[in-house]
Amino acid sequence: QLQLVESGGGLVQAGESLTLSCAASGLPFSSYAMGWFRLAPGKEREFVAAIGRDGGMGYYAYSVKGRFTISRDNAKNMLYLHMNSLKAEDTAVYYCARGPADVNARWAPTERDFGSWGQGTQVTISS
């Protein structure tokens, strides 16, 4: 089973940037699409971004499109989420997760597509 460990969260001010990392082990990382989700207080866990297994296709929630960029380094078994122009509403616990092996341009990621969740990393944006 793929094991995932997130890091990089913290407290930053609105408008600043932050990069989250997710270290993977246990299964061939490059065999799966990967994704980021977040859980804010009082809300349900929501999709943030996903990336195909070769890194060639990115998928984003409307709320973060243009501000966040997902990337991966298959040689290092690492997934990243680069977050710019952060807003108070981005405050949440961020989770990385394993997606399906094969995705295409029409894929609309949902939580049920993902498994092997990490433990999460807290991101807090002060306004």
Q: What is the pLDDT of residue 1?
A: 78
**How would residue 97 be classed by pLDDT, with cut points 50, 70 and 90?**
very high
Q: What is the mean pLDDT of residues 99-107?
A: 92
Which residue type does 46 have? E
**How would residue 2 be classed by pLDDT, with cut points 50, 70 and 90?**
confident
Q: What is the mean pLDDT of the chain?
A: 95
55: left (phi over 0), alpha (psi -120 to 50) or beta: left
Q: What are 24's two structure tokens?
A: 């993977």
Q: What is the mean pLDDT of residues 105-114?
A: 94
pLDDT tens per residue across span 18-75: 999 999 998 899 999 999 999 999 999 999 999 999 998 899 999 999 999 999 999 9
Q: What is the pLDDT of residue 56?
A: 86
124-to-10, 39, 98 alpha-carbon distances in Å: 6, 12, 24
Q: How far apart are CA 6 and CA 87, in angstroms?
A: 21
